[in-house]
Structure 1
Amino acid sequence: MSTDRSRAAARTNAPPRDVPATGLAAPLNPRRIAVLLVLAVIGACAGIAGTLVQAAWFPGGLLLALLAAGGLFYGGRVLTGTQPGAVAPAAGWLISVIFLLGGRPEGDYVFGNELGLILFMLGGMAIAVICATMARVPRPGADSGPSGK
């Protein structure tokens, strides 16, 4: 029975396929880890800046902060081409925002009002989930022929 299989494999003349491991099965790449750490730090900075902007100019600042966070999450996804590229800046963003929620012993905190806080937190988390779960980013030049053929 095994000779039938070897004959069938020999008849196809197909080279053996070496499929590289991807995702969590891929070997650790120091360059990718460094990129993800930099994205997490940039995400933390964006969270701090977004917190200050949304509290200062409530309706416009909130939209600006959410647009910046969404651009960062999507940019990380496009830069790395993987889901962790969107998750790393989102994690940095969320950690910095939660840290700023703690407030000070005097009782004041960075967020201006409760509505802005709720919209900023839920909006930012929703944008992070959308960017992390979206379909793969198409590569330019991947389809060289005209559509329909």
Structure 2
Amino acid sequence: MSARRPQPGGPFAGQSRPGRIALYAGLFVLGALVGVAGSLAQGGLFPGGLLLALLATAGLFYGGLYVTGTQLGVAAPAAGWLVAAVLLSIPRPEGDAVFAAGLGPLVYLLGGMVVAVMCATMSRLPQPGTKSGRLGK
């Protein structure tokens, strides 16, 4: 049995332009949802919730890279996540905010940004059928 190698650009690489735009828009919305859920989980279930929120964030960003095969596949959910996290960190006129003061929210915000940068700067997925760069091989 041979192991299947991932297709370059993931399963959606050959989509038409409107299909790819819809995919990126969906990733943006999914990033916002993960940002909201992570914001609530990291504060409510500290420290396990913080770890869970960062793992979900990393999974989404890497999943966007895997599905699209481009750095824009990381940027779209990262932008949605950042918008949600920033909007939830702004205090209301009553003084309430989803993020409390402390180390947990700071680690969540900075950790999510670091994960986004790490996923965006990863090398591209391996291309199947490429030949060796060595001469004579």
Query: TM tier, shorter chain?
Result: 0.7 to 0.9
Match of 1:36 in 2: 24
Match of 1:142 in 2: 129
Q: Once superposed, what is the RMSD of the aligned Cα atoms?
A: 1.9
Q: TM-score, normalised by structure 2?
A: 0.80
Match of 2:107 in 1: 119
As a proportion of its length, which structure holds more helix? 1
Name the larger-Rg structure: 1
Q: Report the count of equivalent residues.
A: 119
Match of 1:7 in 2: none
Name the % identity. Answer: 55
| In 2, Cα distance between equivalents of 1:138 and 1:49 | 32
| In 1, Cα distance between equivalents of 2:107 and 2:48 | 12
Report the alpha carbon displacement of residue 112 of structure 1 after superposing the two structures with TM.
Answer: 3.2
Moved over 6 A (4+): none
Match of 1:72 in 2: 60
What amino acid is the match of 1:78?
A: Y
| In 2, Cα distance between equivalents of 1:81 and 1:44 | 21
| In 2, Cα distance between equivalents of 1:127 and 1:67 | 9
What amino acid is the match of 1:29?
A: R
**Is the Cα contact below 8 Å between 1:39 and 1:88 reproduced in 2?**
yes
The unaligned stretches of length 5 or more in structure 1 are 1-27
